[in-house]
A and B are shown apart, each in its own frame.
Chain A
Amino acid sequence: SQKIEQNSEALNIQEGKTATLTCNYTNYSPAYLQWYRQDPGRGPVFLLLIRENEKEKRKERLKVTFDTTLKQSLFHITASQPADSATYLCALVHSGGYNKLIFGAGTRLAVHP
């Protein structure tokens, strides 16, 4: 069956450290994968997109990697801040899926001062 999985446990880290979130998928051939941030009671906010032929993408303190052999994406926040505390969602688009995003359940990140 098709699955997209993220760490179900909340991730607690100390301010200034690097947070690493994992997204694994099974039985998909994603054309690209996206990461979103969602705060309570609000819609998700787009962070980064990485295509199937890309290994790594960076944007300011954010970095995402994509390994199509391992069927895994890693999302890193360096020098984390309490304001980074939120739920982070990975989402993929299956080849030919236009804008049909298939979301993981999300990982809650808590950054403590």
Chain B
Amino acid sequence: KAGVTQTPRYLIKTRGQQVTLSCSPISGHRSVSWYQQTPGQGLQFLFEYFSETQRNKGNFPGRFSGRQFSNSRSEMNVSTLELGDSALYLCASSLEHEQFFGPGTRLTVL
């Protein structure tokens, strides 16, 4: 089975721009979660989608949003980028409790 894929792998944006990241889960997995990883804050939960519905949300501002499509693929969007949004964004899919992480998208905001 193919693993979780994320595109793009690397992205450079400037402050004020917006960005969309994509995640394709493992086939058959209906839950997709997003995390932000930074050296200072570690891994922090952004949100989880299950069957196209947001099931859980972390403590991030409204500039961070996501969605899930009927084929379970998910996207997250960050609007009005700030320097502090530079991070590794990880997507994880799951069938039950074990989460399978993708390689991440490294976002740099200049």
- Interface positions of A (Cβ within 8 A of B): 32, 34, 36, 42-46, 49, 89, 91, 93, 97-106
**Does B71 make an interface contact (CB < 8 A)?**
no
| Known pairs A46-B98, A93-B97, A100-B45 / 9 extra A-B pairs, C-beta < 8 Å | A32-B97, A43-B101, A43-B102, A98-B31, A98-B48, A98-B50, A99-B31, A102-B45, A103-B35
A sample of 23 inter-chain contacts (CB < 8 A) reads: A32-B97, A34-B97, A34-B99, A36-B101, A42-B103, A43-B90, A43-B101, A44-B99, A45-B101, A46-B98, A46-B99, A89-B43, A91-B43, A93-B97, A99-B48, A99-B55, A99-B92, A99-B97, A100-B48, A100-B56, A101-B92, A101-B99, A103-B42
Chain B, interface residues (CB within 8 Å), range:
20 to 34
